[in-house]
Amino acid sequence: MTDPTTPPSTPSGTPYGTLPPASPLPQRRPVSLPRLQQMREAGEKITMLTAYDATFAAVADAAGVECLLVGDSLGMVCQGLHSTVGVTLDTMVYHTESVARGLRRVQGTAWLIADLPYGSYAESREQALRSACQLMQAGAHMVKLEGGGWTAPTVQFLVERGVPVCAHLGLTPQTVHALGGYRVQGKTEQAAQTLRRHAHELQDAGAAMLVLEMVPAPLAAQLTRELPGCATIGIGAGKGTAGQVLVMHDMLGINLGKNPRFVRNFMDGAPSVRAALEAYVRAVKDGSFPDDALHAW
């Protein structure tokens, strides 16, 4: 009788786009928090992209993307929702498991971050920990949560319990209704000061990473200089951050709507998805993406 846990043998190719079998030895060292901190100190830009399934995760990893984010943007990208508000924790667990499985299959080395979705961490620090544990057990190495001020004690609670945390300030899509739309944040002196205070509080609470979304480039660069213990990852925040992130479908030019200003279509002139992802990694590393004149405020 055949063992149901053994993958079926496929002598000629792999069916249905199945991932290639894992090679016996990993080629590269897994990305870790100390490694990301070293990159930061050495001035090497950190690359991040969203991934929602096993195949794209494996391709992004092979292209050299250091961090993969199972973003709740999957609500729009995979589920056809109008915002991230409808994404549930169960859905995030499902996609995190898929991405983690894809990375395992190819002995991938990427650092895997999963979004805590709307309504899964605001009620109490205990609720946040329960939700974070589900994502960590699904294969995440770090969880991301949105907002400043009230989130700092939650971040500290998670970090003290061994859950690495990435914070997210600026345009926080889960609060799009409160913000009045997808707009640049931190434009006035007062808004910039509040954002700056929140960023410092999050670093002090132990957040090892901070996504800055649609924040004026000079403010993001200032925060990057001021926060040595917290790697800033920009999206529409200019080139002065420690790293960059984009939604993969946006940078592959398959966004169903209009791409935001901060996106470059890396499929332009690329012969394959893998080549487009490699071009993204190169452009972030050599500082040619983002171009502040085109992609920032």
Binding site for ligand KIV (CB under 6 A): 50, 69, 71-73, 115, 211, 213, 235, 245, 247
Report the C-alpha gap between 100 and 196 in whole angstroms.
34
Taking the least distance from each CB to ligand KIV, the nearer of 170 and 216 is 170
Residue 213 C-beta: closest distance to ligand KIV, Å: 6
Tokens at 248, concatenated: 């993969």
Dihedral sign (CA 34, 51, 238, 144): negative
End-to-end C-alpha distance for the chain, whole angstroms: 63
Taking the least distance from each CB to ligand KIV, the nearer of 72 and 201 is 72
Residue 210 C-beta: closest distance to ligand KIV, Å: 11
Tokens at 103, concatenated: 């990375």
Taking the least distance from each CB to ligand KIV, the nearer of 29 and 258 is 258
CA nearest 228: which of 40, 18, 12, 20?
40
Beta bridge partners of 142: 113
Report the C-alpha gap between 211 and 213 in whole angstroms.
6
Residue 237 C-beta: closest distance to ligand KIV, Å: 10
If DSSP states are collapsed to H, E and C, what string results for 253-272?
CCCCCCCCCCCCCCCCCCCC
Q: Has 213 been annotated as catalytic?
A: yes
Residue 109 C-beta: closest distance to ligand KIV, Å: 21
Task: Report helix, strand or coil for 170.
Answer: strand
Report the C-alpha gap between 181 and 35 in whole angstroms.
36
- Residue of 146, 201, 213, 278 marked catalytic: 213
Which residue has the closest beta carbon to ligand KIV? Answer: 71
- Which residues are catalytic, by number? 213
